[in-house]
Amino acid sequence: MMTKDMTQGKPVKLILGFAVPLLFGYLFQQFYNLIDTLIVGQYLGVNPLAAVGSTGSVNFLVIGFCMGICVGFSIPIAHKFGAGDFAGLRKFVANSVWLGVAFSAVMTIVTVAFCRNILYLMDTPPDIIDDAYAYIVVIFIGIPTVFLYNILSGIIRALGDSRTPVVFLVLSSLVNIGLDLLFIVRLGMGVEGAAWATVISQGLSGILCLIFMIKKFEILRIRKEEWKPELHMMGSLCGMGIPMGLQYSITAIGSVVLQTAVNGLGSMAVASVTAANKIGGFLACPFDAMGSTMATYGGQNVGAKKLLRVKQGMYACIKLGAAYAVIAFLVAFFFGAPLGRLFIEAKDTALAETIVENVRLFLMITTAFYFPLALVNIIRFMIQGIGFPTFAILAGVLEMVARALAGFVLVPLFGFPAAAMGSPIAWIFADAFLIPAFFHVYKKLRLQLGEEA
């Protein structure tokens, strides 16, 4: 049985052992997204690059909701695993599958139908809106592949195996690179080819997860009677999944407002933010890995009624986050400009240098506030993992307000630098809520489980 019990042993060792494979997974996920952007920028030019970038916030709004739901579905599974209730675990898995099919079908139909209208509402520049639509509509068509991979990989991680999904992401990222070159360079499919490469690769990683689970996890061999939909279990799954999905989406609403403000600065600003966000996505991967680790670690230990280990693990992870925040800032300081040049055609010399300077400025500002970002991911996912997902929505509301404030007020007044400050302000707003919220829910759980917990 390829599982990992995180309720015993030193928290730091367990966290690192779980987070490092996750980190490689997130890096490869960013990698095949980055390859899309690099190839688009180098082979298609600045406007197609800006078009892909202009869809980033609405992409996060929709795909983030899907991913949040899937993460939420894995939390009751982690609780059952920590408690040793494998029959209940299998029933939760079966009901997660039914819900995943329903959610993916509805979301695909709705997003594809209203895709172009959303781009108009976001004030997407006229010179890039057609490419933006061609890219994002394919991404939305691929929503079922997002659910497939994220539900299955979430189940695998809930059982303590963070390594296997990484292997499949590595394989799918290699496929993505090959498809990018085929669709864009050889077949001339433009930005639409980059989107299809991403969707096909995502589907491949999900199929590989499914095959692996069927063959390797004995406790997941669901009996016929366990496939029966159970409303109370679906209610529990939705009670975890929907708040987490809404947390992503509410946060993304602020990003949409901020992106709309950036769109108003013109295609050059959009291209600069696109390149900077792609690089920033790589730099922030360790925080994503820490957050996902906390969700599983917290879920298993609450299921086992070992509450003291929850706080010990979170403090250990915060120390790791602080150390990495310093490293990320140094990378942005010394390598921000060279990394920015990877995204721009060499023949556009004057334009390229302006974009590169913007990218470096954006990265310097955001990485200077990476410790608040570490706290957001670590504390929020821990709170979710121990069973209080609604607090994540409230933190997301604060992030939305902060980014909307930057978009409506700061960007029109101060231009591009204010766009870079949007996310740092959001992280600080969220931390102001999450830190006291953790101590509140910890005290509540301690009373429920007893002083010895």
- Evaluate whether 39 touches 73 at the Cβ level (below 8 Å): no
Report the phi/psi class of residue 223: left, alpha or beta, with left for phi > 0 and alpha for psi in -120 to 50.
beta
Please tell me the predicted confidence (pLDDT) of residue 11: 85
* Number of residues in the chain: 453
- Alpha carbons 294 and 75: distance in angstroms, whole number: 11
Q: DSSP H helical segments within 142-284, as ranges?
A: 143-158, 164-180, 191-216, 231-263, 267-283
Question: Can you state the percent helix, strand and coil of the chain, rounding each to 5?
Answer: 85, 0, 15
Cα atoms found within 13 Å of the Cα of residue 301, Cβ hemisphere only = 32
- Alpha carbons 146 and 274: distance in angstroms, whole number: 22
The string of pLDDT tens digits covering residues 87-107 is 888 888 889 989 989 999 999
Please tell me the predicted confidence (pLDDT) of residue 348: 55
Gyration radius of the chain's alpha carbons: 21
Residues 6+ apart with CB under 8 A from 348: 45, 46
Cα torsion angle, 125, 128, 129, 135, sign: negative
- Would you give per-residue pLDDT tens digits along the chain (453 residues)? 455 667 788 888 888 888 888 787 777 767 766 776 777 777 787 778 778 877 877 887 888 888 888 888 888 887 788 777 788 888 888 899 899 899 999 999 999 999 888 888 877 888 888 888 999 999 999 999 999 998 888 888 877 777 787 788 788 888 888 898 899 888 888 888 888 988 998 899 899 988 888 888 777 788 888 888 888 889 888 888 888 787 777 767 777 777 778 877 887 787 788 788 888 888 998 998 898 889 888 888 887 888 888 889 999 999 999 999 999 999 999 998 888 887 765 555 777 778 888 889 999 999 999 999 999 999 998 998 887 877 877 888 888 888 888 888 888 888 888 888 988 999 999 999 999 999 999 988 888 776 544
- Model-level pTM greater than 0.85? no
Structure tokens at 216: 């390797």
Structure tokens at 223: 């009996």
- Alpha carbons 39 and 306: distance in angstroms, whole number: 49
Please tell me the predicted confidence (pLDDT) of residue 436: 95
